[in-house]
């Protein structure tokens, strides 16, 4: 379930000149990996860059890869005391995206979009996913060039 003020979201996108492709990605709250697989017409895989425990939180960095191209970089802050043991176990295993883990365990959740932005090099968002035994804070950055190359975005 999404917790979005759609008019405010559209107003933000409009006032900042977001392209249609950027809006579709930044406003999407299904599994990002699936959406990117459809855009790039190739399986998108999760590559764990770094994952460590810091003051009761899991700090996680991943790259989502379409072949040898990085199409998203994500940084996540995951409080260990607010997430179910089965979620934490799968996060520590490091071989799935957070969206995959939520889907695997069929966890009811809410999304709260905190921030969106764009520049010449990338477009990005920060959001929170929460529910009973679930609390994930995620920052995602999408490099513009791979999306331009496949025709999803125009040059800025």
Closest CA to 88 of 102, 75, 74: 102
User: Mind listing the pLDDT tens digit for each residue in 56-91?
Assistant: 999 999 999 999 999 999 999 999 999 999 999 999
**Token pair 């520590």 in the structure block, residue:** 92
Instruction: Report if residue 98 sits inside a domain.
Output: yes
- At 40, the pLDDT band (50, 70, 90 cuts) reads very high
Instruction: Report if residue 116 sits inside a domain.
Output: yes
- Domain count within the chain: 1
- At 1, the pLDDT band (50, 70, 90 cuts) reads very low
Predicted pLDDT at 15: 75
CB-based contacts of 46: which residues, under 8 Å, 6+ apart?
A: 33, 62, 63, 64, 65, 95, 96, 97, 100
Predicted pLDDT at 2: 44
d(CA 8, CA 11): 5
Instruction: Report if residue 1 sits inside a domain.
Output: no
- Its domain, for residue 104, covers 6-149
Predicted pLDDT at 27: 87
Instruction: Report if residue 154 sits inside a domain.
Output: no
Average pLDDT on 114-140 reads 94
Checking if the pLDDT of 4 tops 70, the result is: no
Which CATH number goes with the domain that contains 96?
3.40.1410.10
Closest CA to 102 of 32, 12, 40, 5: 32
Closest CA to 129 of 95, 93, 100, 90: 100
Sequence length of the chain is: 156
d(CA 66, CA 147): 11
Query: Which residue did the predictor score with more confidence, 145 or 5?
Result: 145
User: Mind listing the pLDDT tens digit for each residue in 85-118?
Assistant: 999 999 999 888 998 899 999 888 888 888 999 9
């Amino acid at each position: 379930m999404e917790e979005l003020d759609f008019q405010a979201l559209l107003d933000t996108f409009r006032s900042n000149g977001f392209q249609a492709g950027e809006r579709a990605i930044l406003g999407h709250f299904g599994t990002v990996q699936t959406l990117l697989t459809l855009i790039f017409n190739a399986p998108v895989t999760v590559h764990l860059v770094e994952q460590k425990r810091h003051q009761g939180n899991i700090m996680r960095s991943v790259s989502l890869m379409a072949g040898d191209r990085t199409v998203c970089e994500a940084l996540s802050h995951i409080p260990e005391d607010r997430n179910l043991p089965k979620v934490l176990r799968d996060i520590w295993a490091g071989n799935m995206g957070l969206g995959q883990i939520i889907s695997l365990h069929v966890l009811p959740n809410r999304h709260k979009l905190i921030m969106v932005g764009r520049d010449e090099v990338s477009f990005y968002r920060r959001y929170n996913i929460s529910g009973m035994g679930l609390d994930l804070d995620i920052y995602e950055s999408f490099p513009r060039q791979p999306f331009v190359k496949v025709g999803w975005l125009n040059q800025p």
